Amino acid sequence: MKTELIQVKSRDAEDELSTIEKTVYSDYKYGFVTHIEADEAPKGLNEDVIRFISARKKEPQWMLEWRLKAYRHWLTMKTPEWANIKFPPINYQDIIYYSAPKQKINPKNLDEIDPELIRTFEKLGISLEEQKRLTGVAVDAVIDSVSIGTSFKGQLAELGIIFCSMSEAIQEHPDLIREHLGSVVPITDNYFSALNAAVFSDGSFCYIPKGVRCPMELSTYFRINAENTGQFERTLIVAEAGSYVSYLEGCTAPMRDENQLHAAVVELVAMEHAEIKYSTVQNWYPGDKQGRGGVYNFVTKRGICKGNHSKISWTQVETGSAITWKYPSVILKGDYSTGEFYSVAVTNNYQQADTGTKMMHLGKNTRSRIVSKGISAGFSNNSYRGLVHVSKNASNSRNFSQCDSLLLGDKCGAHTFPYIEVKNNTAVVEHEATTSKIGEDQIFYCNQRGIDTETAVALIINGFAKEVMNQLPMEFAVEAQKLLAISLEGSVG
């Protein structure tokens, strides 16, 4: 039923258009700073800062040790340089690693939350109240580093679902955290995930017990606020046998001249017959038209299909950030498990995106599907990087990959780096790729039917991205269509 609804929605021209009309301005819409008193760690990174973060969060000793271990390992690592992106060296001593809005006590309900924070969310168009009332989406909002108030908790608790901030989970559910945290993305995994493990300040934790189908979309809204603060959130979702959950993540950041570092880690664990659907709309500040400022987004997202017949599906719409470095992946360990990756990445002006996925087929009869749509405009560079690995024991595995690029103008670049490693000869791996340009002919055709150029581009782009957009839950699909149009405004004609 849900899918049908989405299709009706995406086919409804009226909706597409009215959203575009509303967004006639082309500057970054979410560029405002909320003045809230913040409790900050001193600038820079060392073991004392990590102890400070851990102490502020009243963490148990094992958590502190985990962080320190990650930090010490990070010190031995180097920034990865294999991606098709260019940026000046990051000064890790010039970043504030912990910034928490000052709160009197832990809020029990919305009335206790700083009204200034609530206003921030209202500006973002995701007021907790509204979300609660209208959409039935449970929101765990993260501003800078601390999760402030989670709605719908009561209703979820009745089903045994845990949906809370990571800090709370460490306090309240240490066994679950110790079992799963770092089990999919180990602290030694890569440079940015190690950094995250050392300094992560909050994030969301979600646990769906055996056989439970989560009745609503769970959602986190991330936003970077304080100046010079990196945001290092950590998300963990565990779906026990036979359970189902759909999780939405939305991201924005205020406009700033300096680059803000964002290095998140998301881990998903799906047991036998469980299904996790994880959708992201990423709209971090991309920098200005000359390429100044913007968020550096270095994210590690990985899920494991641990049990047989389990399924993990990533859907992402990436329109923001000066740099996007992100490869949501699936380890297909259980037999008959399924991994999916649906992606739309848009780059404009001087944005750079190097994004894709890894599908690791370990179990027998595993399936994966990759649909990647890259749209480049301005002087931007957009790369798809993907790995399909079929191990020796993964007999009868199948993969299908489709990578399409669309170019607007002739100063941007689209690149595809598909890696395929097959160690089992019963596997079937298919890869298709296309590159096309928005033609003057297409735009003129629309113009001749009374459709102006901006609207024409939006129609063409949304057509190009449709297969991915149809995967998004309806609440997100409309916002995502709007974002595509905004991101590309002024890039044609």
Partner 1 sequence: MLTIQNLHAGIEGKKILNGINLDIKKGEVHAIMGPNGSGKSTLASVLAGRSDYEVLDGTVEFLGKDLLEMSPEQRAAEGLFLAFQYPVEIPGLNTVNFIKTAVNEIRKYRGEAPLDAVSFLKKMKEKMALVNIEQTLLSRSLNEGFSGGEKKRNEVFQMAMLEPRLAILDETDSGLDIDAIRIVSNGVNKLRNKDNAILVVTHYQRLLDYIVPDFVHVLYNGRIVKSGPKELALELEERGYDFIKNENKAEVA
Q: Which residues bind partner 1 (CB under 8 A)?
A: 11-14, 16-17, 439-442, 444-453, 455, 459-460, 462-467
Shortest CB 449 distance to partner 1, Å: 4
Q: Which is nearer to partner 1, 14 or 410 (CB)?
A: 14
Shortest CB 370 distance to partner 1, Å: 17
Q: Which is nearer to partner 1, 164 or 480 (CB)?
A: 480
Shortest CB 456 distance to partner 1, Å: 9
Shortest CB 377 distance to partner 1, Å: 17
Phi, psi at 350, each rounded to 5°: -110, 20
Q: Which is nearer to partner 1, 62 or 445 (CB)?
A: 445
Q: Which is nearer to partner 1, 249 or 454 (CB)?
A: 454
C-beta of residue 246 within 8 angstroms of C-beta of residue 217 = yes
Query: Which residues share a beta bridge with 355?
Result: 326, 384
Query: Which residues share a beta bridge with 338?
Result: 311, 367
- Gap between the Cα atoms of 112 and 107, Å rounded: 5
Please say whether the dihedral angle defined by the alpha carbons of residues 386, 404, 341 and 221, taken in this order, is positive or negative.
positive
Q: Which is nearer to partner 1, 12 or 37 (CB)?
A: 12
Shortest CB 371 distance to partner 1, Å: 12
Shortest CB 19 distance to partner 1, Å: 13
End-to-end CA distance of the chain: 40
C-beta of residue 196 within 8 angstroms of C-beta of residue 234 = yes
Write the single-letter amino acid at 434.
Answer: T
Of 343, 304, 306, the residue nearest 327 (C-alpha) = 343
Shortest CB 404 distance to partner 1, Å: 9
CA dist 142 → 97, 121, 134 (Å): 15, 10, 20
Contacts of residue 11, defined as CB under 8 A and 6 or more positions apart, other chains included, come to none
Write the single-letter amino acid at 196.
Answer: N
Q: Which is nearer to partner 1, 228 or 470 (CB)?
A: 470
- Gap between the Cα atoms of 118 and 96, Å rounded: 24
Q: Which is nearer to partner 1, 419 or 444 (CB)?
A: 444
Query: Which residues share a beta bridge with 443?
Result: none
